[in-house]
């Protein structure tokens, strides 16, 4: 049964297997903090979770304005949660603007908890309301719980020696206490966190805890008066082990650090701030104690060039950016291809073109990754499918870069970067050794001498006596590695660069069907962060008896060697993408069976419902 029903009828029907809560308020209300605390508590309670922070792009938007609204959505439950949920069961709105901008995400019949105290004339006007939605009947069709949270919080914090402003600031924890009550969640994790966070200001910790408890007690009282019922969301079955929450940016950063350890090469990460990739730089800058060096370069170009210099010196060179920044790096990426140096380039994609929508997600840089350079300039392209997957894909990108002496592009996106999920902490001892050897032998040395299998050229690093050599962006002689303008040589070198990258396919795992049969009526093929919603939609449709299969691509260039073959048995193929149909083109380019694109470029991830409808329409037709 849906969670919304559970709030209405005590003990009626079954237990909901998952619920979606959306916290929304002014940027200054501490919404992200609440989201983090609720996620942690749910995760510790054994729920599977998927979360997403949705904050404004303005750094300090005017208080109470609709564009200053910050939100956080979490789906938690007893089954394998793959998305943040299409729509919310509960919306807690700390001001009118938050209600206005988030109401459309609430399910019909869903629960609104609104801070009545903020629905003043002024607050309403700032949000663009003519009349108060709490009283004008416009919220009919939802369950409304209007509470003066501000007043309740002031009462709960009255005994503390704090300013009125400080007391009012505790109102987010009052709301969190109420939500904890609603889902039978424990408060201990949050109280412990508050004690730690405000160890130096214990009065603030105590006031927030009092507010948290008061919110919880308020819930117990309304339950006693049969206004609303709390409901229990069961724990999920998850593989046993030690877990933590991880965001995509964190996982990518740690993946680079892990790859540095697994390859035995020090990491120098060079990057220039850009939304949403910047957080990768932040996470790596905090790993100096592991020997990680970060360089905030003067611009995107410099960041890429520094990564190339690092690779030339024999260390692990990496950079991260987003679409417009990758565009600036493009010439230098070509240099890395020409010089055949291993560099990992992470693109945390956002909506384009140009500056586009910096804080909104998209996966529209696939063309840029696969095709976007001057000359015939191939490089491997991989994409992560979930926050935690960013860890594995980053390590895989480094493995390929080192083994094949090539720059590698790792695609993620703003959604993955910010979203978090519980993560079974990997055992580093079980991860593969990805080390490669430097050339040290001057006997018959040429910098472009290649490994017969991988076609990777020798890596000889400055400091090694007898291997002094010069490389760069000019075409090289196939044999000597000296600059060459010979026409036949350029043909040969162009070919070998393509053969080398295409040859990586033989080193990649075969593609497997994620769900469904090879001869399904409809095959749905996806890549990147659409994995969650596609996977859920296909599994829902299959439960209903639909003949549909799901194939997910990690390797976008080159494709897994059996990709075209494994997808050739489907009756038809649908490719949902958060772009205008880029994978469809790349598949056509690789002579894979024809496919139909299904685009969404609203800056928001696909909803499961949208995908179910799209699948149903193809099957019905």
Partner 1 sequence: MDTKTDTVSPPLTIKDFASDQEVRWCPGCGDYSVIKAVQKTLVEVGAKRENTVFVSGIGCSSRFPYYMDTYGFHGIHGRAPAIASGLLLANPDLDVWIITGDGDGLSIGGNHMLHVLRHNYNCVILLFNNGVYGLTKGQYSPTSERGQITPSSPMGVIDPPLEPIQFAIGAGAHFVARVVDIQQQQMIDVLKAAYEHKGAAMIEIFQNCTVFNDGMCDSFATKSTKFEHQIELVAGQPLIYGKARDKGFKCDPGSLSLKSYDIGGEDDDGHGAIVHDPANRSLAFMLAQMQMPEYPVATGVIYNAPEASYEREAMRQVEEAKASSDRKSVTDVLNQGFTWEV
Quick one: tokens of 514? 């994620």
Other CB atoms within 10 Å distance of the CB of residue 148 = 16
Asked if the peptide bond before residue 276 counts as cis, ω within 30 degrees of 0, the response is yes
Listed residue (45, 80, 79, 43) closest to 425, CA to CA: 43
CA geometry: angle at 478 spanning 472 and 481, to 5°? 40
Nearest approach in angstroms of CB 117 to partner 1 is 32
Assigned token pair, 464: 């090694």
CB of 242 to partner 1, least distance (A): 5
Closer CB to partner 1, 158 or 313, in the complex: 313
Q: CA dist 247 to 146, 386, 579, Å?
A: 33, 9, 23
The nearer residue to partner 1, 116 or 319, going by C-beta atoms, is: 319
Of 11 and 239, which has the nearer Cβ to partner 1? Answer: 239
Work out how close the CB of 229 gets to partner 1 at its nearest, in angstroms, rounded to a whole number.
28
Q: Which two tokens stand for residue 360?
A: 């909104």
The residue among 298 and 453 lying less far from partner 1, judged by its C-beta, is 298
CA–CA separation, 556 and 316 (whole Å): 23
Distance separating alpha carbons of residues 90 and 3, to the nearest angstrom: 9
Nearer to partner 1, 95 or 315 (CB): 315
As measured in angstroms, the least distance from the Cβ of 285 to partner 1 is 10
CB 523 within 8 A of CB 574: yes
Give the nearer residue to partner 1 in terms of CB position, either 493 or 525.
493
In the bound complex, what is the minimum distance in angstroms from residue 402's beta carbon to partner 1? 14
Question: Distance between CA 92 and CA 29 in Å, rounded?
Answer: 12
For the CB of residue 592, give the shortest distance to partner 1 in the complex, in Å: 35
Residue closer to partner 1 (CB basis): 42 or 607: 42
Show the 3-state SS of 107-162: EEEEEEEEEHHHCCHHHHHHHCCCCCCCCCCCCCCCEEEEECHHHHHHHHCCCCCC
CB of 226 to partner 1, least distance (A): 35
- Determine the Cα–Cα distance for residues 136 and 96; give it in Å rounded to an integer: 14
Comparing CB distances to partner 1, the nearer of 195 and 517 is 195
Closest CB to partner 1 among residues 328, 564: 328
CB closer to partner 1 out of 147 and 267: 267
Task: Name the packing angle between helices 300-312 and 323-339 (round to 10°).
Answer: 30
Report in angstroms how near the CB of residue 331 gets to partner 1 at its nearest. Answer: 6
- Pairing label, strands 69-77, 18-26: antiparallel
Q: How far is the CB of 333 from partner 1 (least distance, A)?
A: 10
C-alpha 19/C-alpha 92 separation (Å) is 14
**Residue 235 buriedness (CB in 10 A; 0-12 / 13-18 / 19+):** middle
The string of DSSP letters for 252-294 reads HHHHHHHHHHHHT--EEEEE---TTTHHHHHHHHTTGGGT-EE
Placement of tokens 């992560």 in the chain: 384
501: cis peptide before it, omega within 30°?
no
* In the complex, least distance from residue 414 CB atom to partner 1, rounded to whole angstroms: 23
Least spacing, CB of residue 288 vs partner 1, in Å: 4
Q: Measured from the CB atom, is 206 or 265 closer to partner 1?
A: 265
């Amino acid at each position: 049964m849906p969670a919304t029903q559970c709030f209405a009828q005590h003990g009626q029907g079954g237990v909901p297997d998952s619920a979606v809560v959306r916290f929304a308020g002014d940027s200054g209300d501490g919404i992200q903090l609440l989201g983090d605390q609720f996620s942690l508590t749910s995760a510790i309670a054994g729920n599977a979770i998927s979360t997403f922070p949705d904050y404004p792009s303005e750094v300090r938007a005017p208080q109470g304005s609709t564009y200053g609204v910050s939100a956080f959505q979490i789906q938690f439950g007893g089954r394998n949660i793959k998305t943040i949920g299409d729509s919310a069961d509960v919306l807690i709105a700390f001001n009118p603007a938050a209600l206005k901008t988030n109401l459309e995400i609430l399910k019909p019949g869903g629960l609104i908890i609104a801070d009545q105290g903020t629905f003043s004339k002024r607050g309403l006007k700032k949000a663009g309301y003519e009349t108060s939605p709490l009283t004008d009947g416009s919220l009919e069709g939802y369950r409304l719980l209007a509470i003066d949270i501000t007043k309740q919080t002031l009462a709960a914090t009255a005994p503390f020696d704090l300013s009125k402003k400080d007391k009012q600031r505790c109102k987010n924890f009052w709301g969190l206490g109420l939500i904890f009550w609603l889902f039978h969640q424990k408060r201990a994790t949050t109280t412990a966190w508050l004690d730690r966070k405000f160890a130096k200001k214990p009065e603030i910790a105590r006031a927030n805890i009092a507010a948290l408890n008061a919110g919880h007690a308020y819930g117990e009282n309304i339950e006693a008066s049969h206004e609303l019922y709390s409901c229990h969301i069961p724990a999920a079955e998850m593989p046993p082990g030690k877990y933590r929450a991880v965001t995509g940016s964190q996982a990518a950063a740690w993946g680079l650090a892990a790859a540095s350890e697994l390859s035995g090469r020090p990491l120098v990460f060079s990057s220039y701030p850009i939304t949403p990739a910047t957080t990768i730089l932040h996470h790596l800058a905090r790993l100096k104690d592991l020997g990680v060096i970060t360089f905030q370069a003067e611009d995107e170009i410099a960041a890429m060039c520094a990564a190339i210099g690092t690779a030339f010196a024999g260390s692990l060179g990496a950079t991260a950016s987003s679409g417009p920044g990758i565009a600036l790096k493009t010439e230098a990426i070509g240099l890395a291809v020409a010089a055949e140096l291993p560099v990992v380039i992470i693109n945390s994609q956002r909506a384009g073109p140009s500056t586009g929508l910096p804080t909104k997600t998209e996966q529209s840089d696939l063309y840029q990754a696969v095709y976007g350079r001057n000359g015939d300039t191939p490089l491997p392209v991989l994409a992560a499918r979930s926050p935690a997957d960013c860890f594995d894909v980053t390590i895989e990108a480094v493995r390929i870069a080192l083994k094949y002496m090539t720059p590698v592009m790792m695609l993620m996106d703003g959604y993955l970067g910010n979203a978090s999920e519980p993560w079974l902490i990997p055992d580093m001892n079980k991860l593969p050794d990805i080390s490669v050897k430097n050339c040290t032998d001057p006997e018959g040395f040429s910098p472009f001498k290649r490994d017969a299998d991988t076609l990777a050229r020798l890596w000889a690093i400055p400091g090694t006596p007898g291997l002094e050599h010069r490389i760069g962006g000019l075409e090289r002689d196939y044999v000597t590695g000296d600059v060459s303008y010979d026409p036949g040589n350029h043909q040969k070198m162009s070919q070998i660069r393509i053969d080398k990258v295409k040859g990586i396919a033989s080193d990649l795992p075969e593609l497997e069907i994620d769900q469904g049969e090879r001869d399904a009526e409809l095959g749905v093929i996806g890549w990147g962060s659409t994995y969650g919603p596609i996977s859920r939609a296909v599994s829902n449709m299959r439960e209903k008896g639909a003949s549909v299969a799901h194939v997910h691509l990690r390797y976008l260039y080159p494709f897994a060697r059996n990709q075209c073959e494994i997808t050739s048995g489907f009756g038809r193929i649908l490719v949902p993408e958060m772009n205008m149909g880029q994978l469809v083109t790349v598949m056509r380019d690789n002579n894979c069976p024809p496919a139909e694109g299904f685009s969404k470029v609203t800056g928001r991830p696909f909803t499961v419902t949208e995908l179910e409808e799209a699948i149903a329409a193809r099957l019905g037709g």
